[in-house]
Amino acid sequence: MFSINTSVARTINQSPFEVVFGQQPRTSDYTWKCIVVHLTEDPLIDPPTNNSNEEPICSNIVSTTTPQDRQIQNNEEEIRSDSNIDHEEFIDSTNCVSGVVESKDEPVGANRHKRIRENAEECYLNNANSQLTRYINKSSKRQRIYHVGDIVDLKVSDVNRTNTSSTILPCKIVDSKCQDGETFYYVATMNGIIKESFQSTVFLDLTPSNFTTLRTLNTDSLSCVTFIQACQIYTNFKSADTCKCNGDCSTNRCKYKKKGRKYYSKCHGGDGFI
């Protein structure tokens, strides 16, 4: 519990103890040692209750009552009887006052919780805005204008490659178009032209790299492929999923034959493509 209350939340940069009580917790051992030393040096001295030097009250005093004293005592009793107070009325009024005080204390607690929530919300929004600002600045630095023939790369998803395969797909920009004030690029690989278009922020510039074969590639004779197909062909990715055909997969009933994909060699005892 102590570590939870004293740990600092990165979003609000405060500890729960500091948020609730408005002050930092005393976590330093030196502070507690100073308090212990102060208590040992200045012990609390209780006021004496019994004084042994004082003599006990003499009980040998003879009480003598005169008729005048009795008259004074009777008058005092009459005054006391006349000054009796109805305590029930005061109890009722006290309850009313306490109810008013309690009703006033409730908004104070609610305001304190509201202050904590507003502080946490403000810190959360500031953190989100700072992350968005960093993302925009990073994207703006990566954004640039490419030309036809430039060499770039696209990131290959983990589901389309093995652990030892390449993580990038080298591409060549073959065309570009402007839409809604933004430029989209079409790229080609060694195995075909990718159907999808991409923004410049997803590219990594490989112009200084040596891709002679890709630079001199004639894209007029290439067919169109999807980005997933291009990644799987480049990484030699083979899916472990097999079709459920009973024949030789020569018809479009085979899901791989219908999609024009090369299926795994486990299909039909090795009769499939590799």
Classify residue 169 by its DSSP letter.
E
Tell me, what CATH number does 225's domain have?
2.30.30
Instruction: Look at 140-144, 182-186, 192-196 and tell me which has the smallest mean pLDDT.
Output: 140-144
pLDDT of residue 171: 92
Q: Residue 38: CB partners within 8 Å, gap ≥ 6?
A: none
Q: Tell me: pLDDT of 240 over 50.
A: yes
The model's confidence at residue 66, banded by pLDDT at 50, 70 and 90, is: low
Pair 192, 255 in one domain:
no
> Greater confidence, 225 or 11?
225
Domain-located, residue 129: no
Pair 232, 149 in one domain:
yes
| Mean pLDDT on 186-208 | 88
Reference 185, options 166, 172, 169; nearest CA is 172
Pair 229, 243 in one domain:
no
Reference 186, options 168, 170, 201, 172; nearest CA is 172
| Mean pLDDT on 177-195 | 90
Find the domain containing 244 and state its range.
239-274
Cα separation, 160 vs 162, in Å, equals 7
Pair 208, 262 in one domain:
no
| Mean pLDDT on 233-244 | 72
Domain-located, residue 212: yes
Helix, strand and coil percent figures for the chain, each rounded to 5: 45, 15, 40
The model's confidence at residue 172, banded by pLDDT at 50, 70 and 90, is: very high
- 5 and 19 in contact (C-beta within 8 Å)? no
Pair 228, 245 in one domain:
no
Pair 233, 245 in one domain:
no
Pair 222, 246 in one domain:
no
> Greater confidence, 127 or 25?
127
The model's confidence at residue 86, banded by pLDDT at 50, 70 and 90, is: low
Q: Residue 248: CB partners within 8 Å, gap ≥ 6?
A: 268, 271
- 213 and 191 in contact (C-beta within 8 Å)? no
Domain-located, residue 126: no
Q: Tell me: pLDDT of 62 over 50.
A: no
Pair 155, 208 in one domain:
yes
- 215 and 173 in contact (C-beta within 8 Å)? no
Pair 170, 243 in one domain:
no
Pair 233, 150 in one domain:
yes
Pair 157, 210 in one domain:
yes
pLDDT of residue 274: 36
pLDDT of residue 109: 58
| Mean pLDDT on 145-151 | 88
Pair 187, 249 in one domain:
no
Number of domains in the chain: 2
Cα separation, 122 vs 260, in Å, equals 54
pTM exceeds 0.85, yes or no: no
